[in-house]
Chain A
């Protein structure tokens, strides 16, 4: 990584207000509205009844975890081509936020599985693939923590992120062939209109909150990198 690439990253501004706070605020408003509608306005799910309301957070968490990992993949590939430090920070931010959503997805899935399937955990393809996906990206974060040199850390993170991402489809198909229990994926055609609207509302809420988190984490990474590169303080004269 050249000094030029680091210098090309925008300098942190002194203002405490950043554009992403507006996105986060919009996300929080949508989340409150979406959760209210999911709990009190949307009709109960035909087969699962009231339990089915967890779908309004479970499904957006699944979608947005994949979106976050896709962002990480794109920024990792872009970093390998350009070497820009800002893209490495974006990869780190997206992997962390994706892992957080993945944990949320697994916890919700487990809570959902208990009343519907009678077990906290089952070796269903989507559950298993989600758990493996989490482990794969946690490995990326652990690797990142094991390297001190920022250039080396950035390259290794990008390589590990690319490998982790391209492995997702083949992992999914392997566990799908292994055994299957998860309900068939729904589409807007198979879901009642009021439920589709609430699901979309919550999905947008999660999207905006995800963007907010990634942007905040990116700024934190930028600040930490600049602190590492700061010149030493001048030595004080002995009095």
Chain B
């Protein structure tokens, strides 16, 4: 199954590489959200206090655009049926796509962080590796249920409303842990809370990466 997962992942990354419009589009979408929140913020102090939360709300909104498009190519070319009929474990398709979505979102997050520092006047006082950990695990937490629900909503009526409606309540623990964790890392983690939020993110990822992988086959076979 690992070889099959790598095959799907390679296909997804090749598609992204050939048409880099999705990653750049997501980056500018996230940047627009950072700007809009800055305009709506009452003061620069409030902006600094909300920096971590704003980053994650931006990434959450960007993720819906990314996940909405995750099956667009397959749907446009009627390739989803062929992909389902492909004699591989459906979990390999799920994990390949979910890892590709995680990498895409993490790339956007890593691109947005320096801009957040510059525009919101925040400094990194904590461990940069821990910040990276929050970005990777937070994006992975959005990608796992998002990849499953992306397949569902790509085939349903009103998908642009359905995906956020299904995904947002489900990823509350992920967003909460990622935003609070990123916030404490930016402040230097004086109370040593970072590890607890990382553990919660780890638990969320373990639950959703395993469960979504198991359930993906049931969704795919009804495609």
Contacts and interface: CB of A to CB of B under 8 A. Distances in A.
Contacts of A147: 156-157
Interface residues of A, number: 31
A167 B170 CA distance: 7
Classify the interface of chain A: helix, strand, loop or mixed: helix
Contacts, number: 90
B196 to A, nearest CB: 7
Nearest to A160: B166
6 contacts: A80-B218, A139-B162, A156-B219, A159-B152, A166-B211, A174-B176
Contact of A132 (B152, B172, B203): B172
Nearest to A80: B218
Interface string B58-95: 00000000000000000000000000000000000000
A167 B156 contact: no
A163 B145 contact: yes
Interface of A: 80, 132-133, 135-136, 138-140, 142-143, 146-147, 151-152, 155-156, 158-160, 162-164, 166-167, 170-171, 173-175, 177-178
Contacts of A142: 161-162, 165-166
Interface residues of B, number: 34
A106 to B, nearest CB: 14
A43 to B, nearest CB: 39
Contacts of A80: 215, 218
Contacts of B172: 132, 171, 174-175
Given A155-B219, A170-B203, A163 B157 contact: no
A174 B177 contact: yes
A132 B145 CA distance: 16
B158 A177 contact: no
Interface in B148-170: 148-149, 152, 155-159, 161-162, 165-166, 168-170
B212 interface: yes
Nearest to A147: B156
